[in-house]
Chains A and B, each alone.
Chain A
Amino acid sequence: MTPEQIIFFLCAVFVLTSALMVVTTRKLIHAALWLVSALFGVAVLYATLDAGFMAVVQVVIYIGAIAVLFIFAVMLTRKEMRDRGPQLRSGWWLAALLGLLVFSGLTFLMVTQPGINRTAPAIPAGVDTLANLGNALVSPNAYVLPFEVASILLLAALIGAVYVAAGKK
């Protein structure tokens, strides 16, 4: 095993353990903190994929904004079901079965595809993927329209969230 593979394995175990804790732990605030650790693991995976920008964005947006928002929401809705009562629905084993089925089905489909075990091609010399990404996001020939639509979506979500959460005066 090469060092990269060892890093990937450690990272994968870390992410999957954290994800399992997110869906099974009883205390909701702990689930939110486990989500933070899972997101960190995914950021490391982005780094192993030579997507440094994605790794930074993962930490800044997901951990810095979304996970903190979750922790706020957990604290604001804390009074109910703090630790009492079951945290899982009664039919949770059915959900577990479905999850296992989806995982085995996806894995079966993937390993039967040709070329699934390919390794990554080298990034050609002189190609700056970060500059390419920046250009692609603002170039009219590339993805400026989806980029602007995403910004409008965020604005609409912001206004909608304020309106919904503000309540009656």
Chain B
Amino acid sequence: MSIPLSWYLILSAALFSIGLFGVLSRRNAVAILLSVELMLNAVNINLVAFWRFLNPVQMAGQVFAVIVFAVAAAEVAVGLALIISIYRRRNTVVADEVDLMKW
């Protein structure tokens, strides 16, 4: 292994920032969820990189990444169900137009 830790961390910081940009700037709710997936992946790269570079015998980093997988799957299932339900009722997937709870 000749790759320094900083390369992985900078890559995941870049991926996280791209995801953040997507979450804040996209109008379509499905696209916002896609960007959230990018951010979760950036976090996972960090977790696995720290596991490998700090203590590869202790499995905490990988276990945490596996839990993040499960949470991501749950988040996508519920999120997309909500979007489909909203689409049925209001015929839109634009996040700005779903303002029932805005006062």
Interface, chain A (partner B; CB < 8 A): 2, 4-5, 8, 12, 15-16, 19-20, 22-23, 28, 31-32, 35, 38-39, 42, 45-46, 48-51, 53-54, 57, 61-62, 65-66, 69-70, 72-74, 76-77, 79-81, 85-89, 91-92, 94-96, 98-100, 102-103, 106-107, 110-111, 115-124, 127, 129, 132-133, 136-137, 142-143, 146-147, 150-151, 153-154, 156-158, 160-162, 164-165, 167
Contacts and interface: CB of A to CB of B under 8 A. Distances in A.
Given A35-B38, A77-B87, A160-B81, A23 B22 contact: yes
Given A51-B62, A116-B5, A161-B81, 9 more contacts: A19-B18, A35-B37, A45-B8, A50-B1, A72-B80, A92-B21, A103-B16, A142-B63, A147-B63
23 contacts: A12-B7, A15-B11, A22-B18, A23-B22, A49-B8, A54-B48, A61-B69, A69-B76, A79-B91, A80-B94, A92-B24, A96-B21, A98-B21, A99-B20, A103-B16, A110-B6, A118-B5, A119-B53, A124-B57, A129-B57, A133-B62, A150-B71, A153-B70
Q: Which of A86, A91, A92 has the most CB of B within 10 A?
A: A92
Mostly, the B contact residues are helix
Contact of A16 (B8, B18, B20, B60): B18
Contacts of B17: 99-100, 102-103, 106
Contacts of A23: 18-19, 21-22, 25-26, 31, 34-35, 38
A73 B80 contact: yes
Contacts of B63: 133, 136-137, 142-143, 146-147
Nearest to B75: A157
A100 B60 CA distance: 31
